[in-house]
Every structure is written in C-alpha cells, then in structure tokens.
C-alpha cells in the first residue's frame, strides 16, 4: 500500500481513570464494575447501542456458566434470563429488543461517560505504555487519556494498535466462520422442530435432523456451509432464533472480506426462510422479524498475555493461584472453517475451570488489559471461554482490577493480585470453592 503523510493536532476531550473500549458483554460489565469502584470511567462503542453480540449482534441464548456472585447473574436477571435458559442443551434466546432498552438503562444508572458511535482507531503510546486512545467521531478525531485502558473490542483492536503480539485462528491460520443470526416468528410451536446444534440428535424423516440437513446441502437445497440448521427457542412461543447462516474465510480485522460476507449472509437468510417454509412442518408461515445489525464474528485476534490458557487445561478444570474467573464452563465449540457444523468430530467438554489474571495482561505493553473473546488463550481454548456468560465475568473482574490500578497508581503487571481477589470475593464472587 502507498502511504501519505498526515499530521495534525488532535484535541484531548477528557481524561479518565479507566477507559473501556467496546461495549459488548465484557465491556459493559468492565465499565460498570470500574465505575462502581469509584473510578472515573468512559465506555466507548462504535455502534449506536451498547451490548455487542447481546444486542446488535443478535446472538442468543446467553450460554456458558461461571461461579456464583458475578455480574453475569445481575445482567441475566435484568434481561429475564433464567439459569435453565443458558444451559447448552436447552438454551432459550433472550428478547433482543428488551435487551437494547434494559442494557442502555442499566449503564445509565452508573457514573459512566458513554460515547456511542465512536470508533477507537489508535492507541496513544508513551514508550510501551498505553496512555489513551484516538477516537474517530462525528466531530473528527479526538483523544481520551486514561490511567488504564481495557480492550473489550472482541477483535483486540486497541492491543493491536498498541503493538501487542497476537495470534489468529488455528495452526493453518483459518478462523471460525462468521454468521448472521436472525429471528423467525409465526412458527407453529406444536409442530415446529427445535435443534440446538451439533450435540442435538433430534430426529426428522426417520433420521438425525442435522444429517438430513447435510443431505439437503449436498443436493444444493441449502448453502453448502449452512447445513448445520440450529433452531433455538426464544422466550416467546412460536418464535425461533436461527444460528445457521455461515461464510468461511472472513477475517473481521481485514477490510476486504467484510462486505462480501455481509451480502452472502443476508442472501442466505432469505434462502433459509424459504427453505424452512417449504420443508419444515410448522414453519409454513414463518416470518422474519429481526436480524443482527452486523455480521457476527466468532473469532479474530487473540492477544498474547503473560499466560496462554489451553483447551487441555480446560478439559481437566485447571485451577490457578491467580484465578479471577472461577468455574467457567462451556464445551470447546469450534464451528468448521472449511465446511459446516463442527470442526472436530469428537466434541471436547470441559470441567469448570479457572481463568488466571495473567491471561488478561498483554505481554510487554503496559497500561492495558484485555477482556472478552480477545484474551490470551489458544484457538481451542477460545472456543469455550468466548461465550457471553464467561465474557461478562471476565469484564467485571478486569473492571475492578483497572479501577484498583488507577487508585493505587500501579500498572496491570504490578497489581497485587491477592488484593484484587480479596476485593472480588468481598463483593460476593466465588473464586475458590471446590
């Protein structure tokens, strides 16, 4: 690429103790947690609504579990989500519209400066330390400075701008596919099939529904990569949350593949709706009533931290002395980057595991935490901890940590982790139970 010289003075709009970049499940919890500790906090989001995949991403159900007492419980209560709704085997999708209102009001109750429609487009550096961020706004480029910045952008944008090391995908570089989820209404609940994914053996025409779908895809009736037809119930009778469209080979951190993916996924929605109407009893009159405002990204940058957690450790429920998220649990859910369905024939289940503090502290770069799906882990470990329950608990823990750094004038790398654990347990979060 050619380059141009571009220098200009950028106004510094305000200074904070803690800046949280990205208002997804991890970011909103990080901002609320930091603000509740008394930190002067900003929350930055590129879209016009907070929530990330909980709202604009139109992703549900909220899946995975963590130990008792975290902010995940508070958010789920707020959204009317019950424990059973989050079970991977019976998951029920939340009401996306209610979530939009509930989350924006929830954040508004806290002492947080929320900047919507602001894209974080660079990190302000002093040597190896992040001192703030550059925002692209309707008022032009602006800077915010902070004692600590939390990267909860999902894609690890801030960490990347700051020069952190990262990895993407598995050993061959391929990442999990992208999907646009949508909601159908007017489904006959009595007759309409449910299928929650590849661990579901629900039968159809005398065989496994998903095998039948695969045959349909091979025959050209379904898009080749959209053969895993996942039809979740929602909180409303006669409604289905559809997690089925799929495009492989899209990298959300590169401009060139994003538009093509969006176009193809939107086309798949129309095709799938017609296919369901023609082939699935109970779906004859199904109506499209909602879809994600943006392509859903399962995987992109994983920012390498002081510790890189592995799926093997999750499989044995490894405990860590510097635990800050406890009893995290979800299967290793790798959607196939070269076809449809799961990438691995045998699905790996986990024993409730710990996430250690060091996974949230990027190597070499100071003044920065990561939270959410961009934390430090392997491709296979990420496929488990990326679910929204676990991301919320991560955000909360890191939000508290960032507030403590700001208060004590220390860096994330030098924070006293025992003191952080005491603070978290003092808030009622279980970090140590068997």
Q: Which residues bind ligand FAD (CB under 6 A)?
A: 21-27, 44-47, 52-53, 57, 59-64, 119-120, 152-155, 157, 179, 181, 243, 296-298, 372-373, 386-388, 391
Shortest distance, CB of residue 88 to ligand FAD, whole angstroms? 9
Least distance between ligand FAD and beta carbon 157 (Å): 4
Q: Which helix (H) or strand (E) holds 18?
A: strand 12-21
- Report the nearest approach of ligand FAD to the CB of residue 408 (Å): 26
- Least distance to ligand FAD, CB of residue 24, Å: 2
Task: Identify the burial level of 185 via C-beta atoms within 10 angstroms of its C-beta, where 0-12 means exposed, 13-18 middle and 19 or more buried.
Answer: middle
Nearer of residues 213 and 226 to ligand FAD, judged by Cβ = 226
Question: Which is nearer to ligand FAD, 115 or 276 (by Cβ)?
Answer: 115
Report strand pairing: 182-185 vs 240-242: antiparallel
d(CA 284, CA 319): 50
Pick between residue 64 and residue 356 the one whose CB is nearest to ligand FAD.
64
Whole-angstrom distance, CA of residue 322 vs CA of residue 115 = 33
Pick from 318, 339, 320: nearest CA to 329? 318
Please, which residue, 5 or 253, has the CB nearer to ligand FAD? 253
The CB-of-285 to ligand FAD minimum distance in angstroms stands at 26
Is the distance from CB of 403 to CB of 17 less than 8 angstroms? Answer: yes
> Are 51 and 103 within 8 A, CB to CB?
yes
Q: What is the DSSP string of 256-309?
A: HHHHHHHHHHHHHHHHHHHHHHHHSTT-TT-EEEEE-SSPBP---EEE-BS--B
Residue nearest to ligand FAD (CB): 24
Between residues 129 and 137, which has the closer beta carbon with respect to ligand FAD? 137
128: left (phi over 0), alpha (psi -120 to 50) or beta: alpha
Phi, psi of 205 (to 5 degrees): 50, 45
Least separation in angstroms between CB 251 and ligand FAD: 14
- Identity of the residue, 97 or 218, whose beta carbon is nearer to ligand FAD in the bound complex: 97
Q: How many CB atoms lie within 10 A of CB 308?
A: 17
Q: Which is nearer to ligand FAD, 36 or 335 (CB)?
A: 335
DSSP-based three-state secondary structure for 402: helix
Give the integer Cα–Cα distance in Å for 353 and 356: 10
> Shortest approach of ligand FAD to residue 415 CB, angstroms?
21
Q: How far is the CB of 197 from ligand FAD (least distance, A)?
A: 9
Q: Smaller CB distance to ligand FAD: residue 21 or 35?
A: 21
């Amino acid at each position: 690429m050619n380059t141009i010289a571009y220098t200009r003075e950028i106004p510094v709009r305000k200074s904070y103790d803690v800046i949280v970049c990205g208002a997804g499940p991890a970011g909103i919890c990080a901002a609320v947690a930091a603000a509740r500790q008394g930190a002067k906090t900003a929350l930055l989001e590129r879209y016009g609504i907070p929530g990330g995949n909980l709202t604009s991403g139109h992703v549900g159900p909220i899946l995975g579990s963590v130990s008792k007492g975290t902010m995940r419980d508070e958010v789920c209560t707020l959204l009317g989500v019950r424990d059973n709704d989050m079970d991977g085997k019976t998951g029920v999708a939340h009401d996306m519209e209610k979530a939009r209102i509930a989350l924006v009001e929830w954040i508004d109750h806290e002492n947080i400066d929320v900047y919507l429609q602001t894209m974080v487009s660079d990190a302000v550096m002093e040597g190896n330390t992040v001192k703030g961020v550059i925002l692209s706004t309707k008022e032009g480029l602006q800077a915010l400075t902070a004692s600590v910045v939390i990267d909860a952008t999902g894609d690890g944008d801030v960490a990347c701008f700051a020069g952190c090391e990262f990895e993407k995908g598995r050993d061959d570089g391929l990442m999990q596919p992208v999907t646009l989820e949508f909601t159908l209404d007017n489904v006959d609940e009595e007759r309409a099939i449910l299928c929650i994914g590849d661990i579901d053996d629900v039968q159809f025409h005398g065989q496994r529904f998903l095998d039948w779908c695969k045959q349909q895809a091979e025959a050209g009736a379904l898009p080749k990569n959209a053969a895993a037809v996942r039809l979740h119930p929602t909180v409303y009778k006669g409604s289905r949350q559809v997690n089925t469209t799929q495009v492989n080979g899209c990298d959300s951190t590169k401009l060139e593949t994003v538009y093509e993916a969006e176009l193809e996924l939107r086309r798949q929605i129309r095709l799938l709706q017609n296919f369901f109407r023609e082939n699935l009893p109970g779906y004859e009159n199904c109506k499209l009533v909602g879809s994600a405002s943006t392509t859903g990204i399962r995987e992109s940058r994983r920012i390498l931290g002081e510790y890189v957690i592995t799926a093997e450790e999750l499989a044995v429920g490894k405990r860590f002395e510097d635990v800050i998220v406890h009893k995290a649990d979800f299967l290793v859910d790798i959607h196939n980057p070269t076809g449809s369905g799961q990438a691995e024939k045998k699905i790996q289940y986990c024993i409730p595991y710990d996430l250690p503090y060091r996974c949230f502290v990027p190597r070499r770069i100071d003044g920065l935490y990561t939270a959410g799906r961009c934390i430090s882990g392997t491709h296979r470990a990420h496929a488990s901890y990326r679910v929204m329950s676990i991301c919320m608990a991560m955000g909360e823990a890191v939000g508290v940590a960032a507030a403590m750094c700001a208060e004590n004038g220390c860096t994330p790398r030098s924070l006293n982790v025992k003191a952080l654990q005491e603070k978290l347990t003092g808030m009622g979060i279980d970090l140590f139970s068997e």
